């Protein structure tokens, strides 16, 4: 089945005054999956926008952007209900919002099991420790959140309360052209099998098509991969739909046209969209 998209504001209106977007996102058919677009922009976001990050089923945050905690609250989601944070890699624009998020959850005394922070094994502990050091947790130990690190490598799998995660190596480099440990993720709903693939930051990487084979929804980087090449991955994968993300607004219409010339069912990720991925029949 084809994923659908709605604007947060439309979704809220549809269920009546007084019902938050978080509640609307929680309304899903058994086995379906909801993906909220918290940010769609590039490394330094366009004014008024957030860099690429997503919220899955209201519980799992994909990258933290510059200010994901604020974006979540702005759109009616409660950061205290997060179960996990999935980091695709450790370039700054993908984790710069982590200290704010840890501060919020620690100060507000998030309850329940530890907040799971998953990401590439090479720098996961280093980045989280740096975020906590920035918060001066040695001076203010009372704000340290209850968290658990889950270091990952390509080929790993992870289990959450409601979704399964498969990890695949993306093709990405640092500024000095050094290979970066960076991941694409396949997220599948346990209840009924709805699933989607997030490329993370990646250059054109044909093996990603096999990892994403048959996916109803491919969310693909448009900053480090040409739009036509992202579309080629979607075409080779037999994806139901391609969503371009991590792009600059002035380039949006050109990127969309280039991608659609290769893969017609392409759209741009748009901050404020609620994507609904139904369970397969």
Q: Residue 100 — very low, low, confident or very high, per pLDDT cuts 50/70/90?
A: very high
| The pLDDT value given to residue 27 | 56
User: pLDDT for 55-65, tens place per residue?
Assistant: 999 999 999 99
The region of weakest confidence among 25-34, 64-73, 135-144, 272-281 is 25-34
Q: How far is CA 111 from CA 80, 81, 98, 170, 269, in A?
A: 8, 9, 18, 34, 32
Angle at 96 between CA 52 and CA 47, to 5 degrees: 55
Higher pLDDT, 148 or 9: 148
Q: Residue 177 — very low, low, confident or very high, per pLDDT cuts 50/70/90?
A: confident
Rounded distance between C-alpha atoms, residue 166 and residue 188, angstroms: 9
Rounded distance between C-alpha atoms, residue 49 and residue 193, angstroms: 32
| The pLDDT value given to residue 281 | 81
Asked if residue 13 has pLDDT above 60, the reply is: no
Q: Residue 18 — very low, low, confident or very high, per pLDDT cuts 50/70/90?
A: very low
Task: Report pTM.
Answer: 0.91
- Radius of gyration of the chain from Cα atoms? 18
Give the residue extent of every domain in the chain: 4-277
Please give the CATH topology (third level) of the domain spanning 4-277. Metallo-beta-lactamase; Chain A (3.60.15)
């Amino acid at each position: 089945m084809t994923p659908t998209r709605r604007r947060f504001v439309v979704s809220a209106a549809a269920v009546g005054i007084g019902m938050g977007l978080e509640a609307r996102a929680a309304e899903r058919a058994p086995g379906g999956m909801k993906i909220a677009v918290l940010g769609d922009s590039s490394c330094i976001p366009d004014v008024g926008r957030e860099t690429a990050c997503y919220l899955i089923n209201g519980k799992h945050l994909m990258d933290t952007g510059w200010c994901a905690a604020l974006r979540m609250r702005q759109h009616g989601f409660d950061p205290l209900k997060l179960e996990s944070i999935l980091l695709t890699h450790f370039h700054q624009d993908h984790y710069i919002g982590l200290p704010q998020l840890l501060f919020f959850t620690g100060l507000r005394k998030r309850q329940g099991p530890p907040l799971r922070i998953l990401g590439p094994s090479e720098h996961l502990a280093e980045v989280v420790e740096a975020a906590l050091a920035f918060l001066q947790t040695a001076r203010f130990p009372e704000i340290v959140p209850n968290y658990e690190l889950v270091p990952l490598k390509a080929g790993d799998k992870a289990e959450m309360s409601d979704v399964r995660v498969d990890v695949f190596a993306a093709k990405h480099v640092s500024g000095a052209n050094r290979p970066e440990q960076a991941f694409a993720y396949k997220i599948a709903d346990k209840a009924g099998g709805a699933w989607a693939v997030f490329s993370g930051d990646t250059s054109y990487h044909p093996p990603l098509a096999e990892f994403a084979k048959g996916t109803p929804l491919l969310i693909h980087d448009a900053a480090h991969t040409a739009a036509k090449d992202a579309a080629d991955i979607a075409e080779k994968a037999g994806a139901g739909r391609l969503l371009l993300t991590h792009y600059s607004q002035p380039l949006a219409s050109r990127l969309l046209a280039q991608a659609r010339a290769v893969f017609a069912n392409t759209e741009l990720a748009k901050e404020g969209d609620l994507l609904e991925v139904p369970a397969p029949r």
